[in-house]
Structure 1
């Protein structure tokens, strides 16, 4: 039975990797600009009519398997649906996408994402995530750690999904609202004020957590150390 599960994991991982290579090659050789992606998604949602929000949520969720920027799709939500409904659908889509990534990491990506986590020093250890799951994920979301890898690695770590889900929901709210309003500001520039408010709110909360919690201080230090090591590598 275990051999069968391992075989399924290997096959799924190979297919996923192959799809990423094909998609990456297509984007590389076709030189598709991000603006074109926005237009194409807008057309799909428009043609779907009343099903538009569902199409948007589905595309946003599938996006997580391609590692395409979640921020761009959140921005598109504001552009397509406006600040209110854009905020609703982007929040729903982002949370579904994050939890799908978590479940994927938990059931089929354990070995692969352990390898990634060990080689990307900004991520905490599995033990740290399990012991302080909620606050760890909350701080990492507020500090804008890579959106999809965090979901996959959290699932592979063995932490409780409810801690991950609740921390993700709270942690992405300031950024989600900010980028939705940024998208909506293309039709109404007055929304830019809301963007600044929520960006400042997110920064303020993250700074408090970095100073007042041990986990926050450790994560901030990891991020700074990783930045410094990358700078040194470029110099040498």
Structure 2
């Protein structure tokens, strides 16, 4: 049997943003359309609300993702600068600090000191960022990548319920949008689970559950406010 040495942690940054964006696009747009439709509004008003929701949601997701990941990136950069300052000020203390880390991980003191010395001679800053702070080049924060992935995937996800609403007759918008959205959510959950090497059933079930809950609550809200109006 061939040894599979392919790992998947490097996908976490863009995969999280992409799944979040697509899921939010499907759920929020479908919920908005169903909520408005439940208030007995016209088909044109329903479509207009859906289009406005897609545009606003995509921009909000991209901006929010950029700001939040930028904050993470700023924190990482501050840690890098602080660690470089410590190395410049007291290299011996930093060497002992790295040695202690390796001892705690199970190496004998002599071997830990040797490993720390060799790694710091090769790349002192990189060794401390990796082994002291847990910062890795492949998974550090990328604000622009996260914003594009989140905003783009929101739009792609939102296109499913919006297209269903446009294609459905005025009297069938709610069931058509609900069914289309649940199928889309199940597919998204299964795909995300596959890419992350998790259970496809679990991945599909959890997004479908929250989708049903969101659409149910907004439908009830639409009916209540529609009856009052």
TM-score (norm 2): 0.27
TM-score (norm 1): 0.26
The structure showing larger relative contact order (alpha-carbon pairs under 8 Å, at least 6 residues apart) is: 2
Larger radius of gyration: 2
